[in-house]
Amino acid sequence: MGALSGRTALVTGGGRGIGRAISERLGRDGARVGVHYGSDETAAKETAAAIEAAGGEAFTLRAALGVPGDAESLWTAFDEQADGLDILVNNAGINKALDGALHPFGEMTRADVERLFAVNATAPYFVIQEGLSRLRDGGRIVNVSTRLTHGAAKSDLIAYAMSKGPIDVLTRSLAKELGPRGITVNAVAPGAVDTDMNAAWLRGGENAEARAATGALSPLGRVANATDIADIMGFLASGDSRWVTGQWIDATGGALL
């Protein structure tokens, strides 16, 4: 039996990148995993299929985040396929402007910034709020933050870093609020991770210099992959992390040193 056998998990944005790695890790550990997606149904179904092929259980659910009624839609879809929750991973997030590009500070519009906050800060707040009636005592909440809330952000990532700052506040505050129920709340803060989101500057021969420079930020001398982050999540989702709560976990490979 896995460490999470008999438990149910929900991973927002669970079909791609770090989210997929988290979903697959929790599935290997025995959890029945709800793989949430906003638009990429194919990726979510592929992730669920991979979990099942490895002997686990999974289901997919769709809900757009960052719009009015998002949390209600998510939990309605969840309730159709599960009865109660043990692990909630708030992973879904965006880092680009509405046109899909990164823009320097002076070129971000109000709509760009408000969209970042809607998806990265407001949505997790209400997903947790609406989900607490389903989260069983002794459960786990893990939020994905970023190293940029504790370190300098480039001009084109200032708004993104700002939108993740509230996640750190939410994590510390909820750890106190939910402690009496035995629920732990932690945040994991990755640095640069080799995923599709970062492919434009981390992959391909023409990006070798940027990749090497990014990897050199860590004393371990490489760029993280998604499983590096997912394995931290596996610990925080398990009973072994029962005495860890309200923490901002540096998942940068020491890049902030």
What's the rounded Cα separation, in Å, for the pair 40 and 63? 11
pLDDT for 78 equals 98
- Say if 210 falls within a structural domain: yes
The helix (run of H) or strand (run of E) holding residue 248 is strand 248-251
- Domain span at residue 236 reads 8-244
Tell me the CA end-to-end span of the chain in Å, nearest whole number.
38
Q: Which amino acid is at 109?
A: T
pLDDT for 161 equals 97
Q: Is 37 a catalytic residue?
A: no
Lowest mean pLDDT among 6-10, 98-102, 128-132, 175-179: 98-102
pLDDT for 205 equals 58
- Say if 2 falls within a structural domain: no
pLDDT of 200 above 70: no
pLDDT for 210 equals 78
Q: What is the pLDDT of residues 140-192, one digit of tens each?
A: 999 999 999 998 888 999 999 999 999 999 999 999 999 999 999 999 999 98
Task: Compute CA distances 5 → 10, 47, 86, 157, 211, whole Å.
Answer: 14, 19, 11, 39, 38
pLDDT for 209 equals 81
E-strand ranges in 116-230 read 135-144, 184-190, 193-194, 224-225
Name the pLDDT band for 98 (thresholds 50, 70, 90). very high
Q: Which residues of 80-105 are buried (b: 16+ CB within 10 A; e: fewer)?
A: eebeebbbbbbbbbbbbbeeeebbee
Q: Between 211 and 230, whose confidence is greater?
A: 230
Name the pLDDT band for 204 (thresholds 50, 70, 90). low
pLDDT of 223 above 80: yes
- Say if 223 falls within a structural domain: yes
Residue 212 CB neighbour total at 10 angstroms: 12
Sheet holding 248-251, edge to edge: 57-62, 32-37, 8-11, 85-90, 135-144, 184-190, 248-251
pLDDT for 194 equals 84
Q: Any idea what the CATH number is for the domain that residue 144 is in?
A: 3.40.50.720
pLDDT of 201 above 60: no
What's the rounded Cα separation, in Å, for the pair 122 and 223? 30
Q: What is the pLDDT of residues 45-81, one digit of tens each?
A: 999 999 999 999 999 999 999 999 999 999 999 999 9
Considering the candidates 75, 78, 160, 248, report the single residue annotated as catalytic.
160
- Say if 3 falls within a structural domain: no
What's the rounded Cα separation, in Å, for the pair 254 and 257? 5
pLDDT for 206 equals 59
- Say if 255 falls within a structural domain: no
If one counts the domains in the chain, the total is 1
- Say if 230 falls within a structural domain: yes
- Say if 221 falls within a structural domain: yes
- Say if 256 falls within a structural domain: no
